Amino acid sequence: MALLKVKFNQKKRVKLAQGLWLMNWFSVFAGILVFSMGLFLKIELRKRSEVMDNNESHFVPNSLILMGILSCAFNGFAGKICYDSLDPAKFAKWKPMLKPYLALCCVFNMLIFFVALICFLMRGSLESTLAQGLKNGMKFYRDTDTPGRCFMKKTIDMLQIEFKCCGNNGYKDWFEIQWISNRYLDFSSKEVKDRIKSNVDGRYLVDGVPFSCCNPSSPRPCIQYQVTNNSAHYSYDYQTEELNLWRRGCREALLSYYSGMMSSMGAVILLVWLFEMSVMVGLRLLHTSLESIANPEDPECESEGWILENSLKDTFKSALENLKKLGKFNQVEAGAEGAEGEEGGKTPAITTVS
C-alpha cells in the first residue's frame, strides 16, 4: 500500500503546482537568509580570530554559506519545474530528471538538519578554542613592539571594554602573567629588581590589571594596581568589598555571545528545514500525480499521488535487498578479475621437437 496516497483532478494538480511554485520562491529567500546569517557569523568570528586558537569555529559559518547557496539553486530549479508542470509539453523534458533531483533533495535536507544540530552542539568546541586563544592573547598583551603581535594589546582592551569582562576566567588571571612590557620598567628601581628576582621565570608579576578591566559604573575611582593590598588603599578590603573591576571572564562572555547567536541561527535553520521538507513532499506528490495519469491526452482525468509507492516497511526491505544484490555483484566482479589475473600470469610450456 502506498504511503500518503492522495487523489488529484486537474484543478487540484494546478493548485498544487502553483502553491509549490510560490513556496519554492519563499525557499529561495530563506536560502538568502541562511547565506546572510553564515556571512554575518563569519565576520563576527573573524573580528576576534586573534583570541581563538584554531579555525574549527569557522565550520558553522562556512556550512551556512554553502547551504544558503545550495538552497537558492535547488529551489530556483524546483520553481521552474513546478511552473512548467502546468504545461504537459514543457513538463515532459523534466520527467527523467525528477527522481534524481528528489534524491538530491533528500541528501540536501539531511545536510540542513545536520548543520542545524551543529549550531546547537558547537558550544564545547568553541569553549576550548576561546580558552586557549584568550590565554595566548593575554601572554602577548605586552608585545607592543613585536611585529605580528603589536595589535594584541588593543584587541584585548577593546574586547574587555565591549564585553565588560576581565581576563580569561576572571581578573586574577592577569596576576599570573607579565602584561607590562620591559620597555616601560625601570630596572634601576629596587622594587622592580626584587619582583623579577622573586619570580622563578624572571617575570615582572603584579597584582594589577589593565585599565580596560575597570567598571566605569563604579562610584569609586578604579583600583587597578595592588588589588590585593588592603593597606595601599583607604577603607578597602578586596575580599569583602565589591571590586570596581569586571568580575566575569572574557571566555564566559564570548561563549555566551556566540552560543546565543548560534542557537538562534540553529532554530532558524530548523524552521527552514521543516519548510524544505514540506516543499519536497509536495514536489513528490506532484511528480507521482502527473506520472500516474491514465490518459496523458486527457489532462482533466483523475490521478493518484503518493510519497512512497509501497509502505515504509516494504520500501526499507526493498532498499536492503538492492544493497545486498549490489554487494554480491561487486564480489562476483572482483572474483572474475582475480581469476583473469591468475590465468594471465601462467605462461604456456613450449616443447621443442628435434
Name the nearest CA neighbour of 301 among 7, 9, 18.
9
Q: How far apart are alpha carbons 306 and 5 in whole angstroms?
A: 4
Greatest Cα pair distance, the chain, in angstroms, is 123
Q: How far apart are alpha carbons 204 and 199 in whole angstroms?
A: 7
pLDDT on residue 338 = 59
Q: Which residues of the chain have pLDDT under 50?
A: 347, 349-354
Q: Give Rg (Cα) of the chain.
A: 34
Q: How far apart are alpha carbons 278 and 261 in whole angstroms?
A: 26
Q: How far apart are alpha carbons 221 and 234 in whole angstroms?
A: 12
Non-local (6+) Cβ contacts of 41 within 8 A are 60, 61, 64, 261, 262, 265
Whether the model pTM is above 0.85? no
The position carrying cell 573591576 is 245
Paired sense of beta strands 6-8 and 303-305, if any: antiparallel
Q: How far apart are alpha carbons 256 and 260 in whole angstroms?
A: 6
Which three cell numbers mark 329? 555483484
pLDDT on residue 304 = 72
Write the pLDDT tens digit of every residue in 61-115: 999 999 999 999 999 988 888 888 777 777 777 777 888 888 888 899 999 999 9
Q: How far apart are alpha carbons 220 and 15 in whole angstroms?
A: 70
The one-letter amino acid at 101: Y
Phi/psi at 273 (5° precision): -60, -45
Angle between helices 250-291 and 59-84 (to 10 degrees): 20
Q: How far apart are alpha carbons 187 and 193 in whole angstroms?
A: 6
How deeply is 203 buried, as exposed, middle or buried, from its count of CB atoms within 10 A (0-12, 13-18, 19+)?
middle
| Residue 293 Cα distances to 78, 101, 103, 279, 301, angstroms | 21, 21, 22, 22, 7
The one-letter amino acid at 347: T
For Cα atoms 71, 101, 26, give the angle at the middle one, nearest 5 degrees.
30
Q: How far apart are alpha carbons 141 and 157 in whole angstroms?
A: 9
pLDDT on residue 95 = 76
* CA pseudo-torsion sign 133, 136, 140, 141: positive
* CA pseudo-torsion sign 122, 124, 128, 134: positive
Q: How far apart are alpha carbons 323 and 330 in whole angstroms?
A: 11
Q: How far apart are alpha carbons 246 and 156 in whole angstroms?
A: 14
Write the pLDDT tens digit of every residue in 16-59: 888 889 999 999 999 999 999 999 999 998 888 888 876 666 88
Q: Where are the domains of the chain?
A: 1-135+254-293, 170-246
- What number of CA atoms fall less than 13 Å from residue 172's CA on the CB side? 4
